[in-house]
Amino acid sequence: MPGSSEPLPFPTDWESLLVLVPHPDDPEYGTAAAVAKWTAAGKAVRYALASSGEAGIAGMAPEQAGPLREDEQRRAAAIVGVSEVDFWGFPDSNIRNTPELRAKIAAVIAEVRPDVVVAIYGGAEFGPGMPNQRDHIEFAAAVTDAWDSLTDPPRWLFQNGPGATHIETVDGYLAAAVDSLAEHEVYLSVLDPQTPVREQARGVVEMTTSGHPGGPASAFILQRSTLG
């Protein structure tokens, strides 16, 4: 409920967190600064990505772009203290909320058994005139549906995006977030050839962490909790 009340602080009483997204670079658009803070505090974070982003680099064949983007994602993750990054091989730009995808999500959550899951934002738009991508909307819905099929779900399911119910302040972790996103060097340099990669990365980190009264923060929307 955007604007309905002050966001709460993100929970601290957990040990492990799983980030679930459809594409490489999704964790770096808003979550990575918080991840840097969490791993610095000794918490375990891992990433799982439905696709390898193989359709995401204009002019590059998928069989070349997929492995390249996996490498960029692994380097981006390492900078914020994440060494476990899994790619599931679902088709980039054709991610749909299918039984197969829901089964994969449920199986990974059951295997990893994190305390917290942070998923991609699934709302229709990030803001007025800023529509979300269909892959994101479908993937986010698949995560929630998979969650609802679990007999013993983790304690919390969040999405990362606008209309926060919870925020994690990230003062001191913005540089790591910029470095992390800048590892998507080939991807970003093709996406916007006019703007240097680090400048793009700074702009994204600024955009995704600003606007909070207590300073820069990563913003999360609570979807499910076993705590009632």
User: Is residue 102 within the footprint of Zn ion (CB under 5 A)?
Assistant: no
- Report, in Å, the least distance between residue 214 CB and Zn ion: 28
31 vs 165 by CB, closer to Zn ion? 31
Nearer to Zn ion (CB atom), residue 29 or residue 156: 29
- DSSP 8-state class, residue 76: H
CA geometry: angle 12, 212, 205, nearest 5 deg: 85
Residue 210, CA distances (Å) to 33, 171, 174, 199, 216 in order:
12, 11, 11, 16, 5
Residues 23-52 that bind Zn ion (CB under 5 A): 23, 26
Query: Closer CB to Zn ion, residue 97 or residue 169?
Result: 97
Judged by CB under 5 A, which stretch of 20-28, 64-72, 153-161, 216-224 contacts Zn ion? 20-28
Number of residues lying near Zn ion (CB under 5 A): 2
Question: Of the two residues 26 and 72, which places its CB atom closer to Zn ion in the complex?
Answer: 26
Lay out the site mask for Zn ion across 47-76 (x = CB under 5 A, - = otherwise).
Answer: ------------------------------
Nearer to Zn ion, 23 or 69 (CB): 23
d(CA 159, CA 224): 10
Of 12-20, 22-30, 122-130, 182-190, the window that binds Zn ion (rule: CB under 5 A) is 22-30
86 has which bridge partners?
A: 48
CB of 36 to Zn ion, least distance (A): 20
Q: How far is the CB of 21 from Zn ion (least distance, A)?
A: 7
Q: Which of 154, 125, 158, 205 is nearest to 20 (CA)?
A: 158
Q: How far is the CB of 203 from Zn ion (least distance, A)?
A: 17
Structure tokens at 124: 């229709």
Q: Quick one: 132 exposed, middle or buried, by C-beta within 10 A (0-12, 13-18, 19+)?
A: middle
134 contact partners, CB below 8 Å, separation of at least 6: 95
Part of the chain binding Zn ion (CB under 5 A), chosen from 16-24, 77-85, 162-170, 189-197: 16-24
Q: How far apart are CA 6 and CA 4, in angstroms?
A: 7
CB-nearest residue to Zn ion: 23
Q: Rounded to the nearest whole angstrom, what is the least distance from the CB of residue 49 to Zn ion in the complex?
A: 9
Task: Give CA–CA dist 89/180, Å, rounded.
Answer: 23
Query: Which spans of this chain sit near Zn ion (rule: CB under 5 A)?
Result: 23, 26
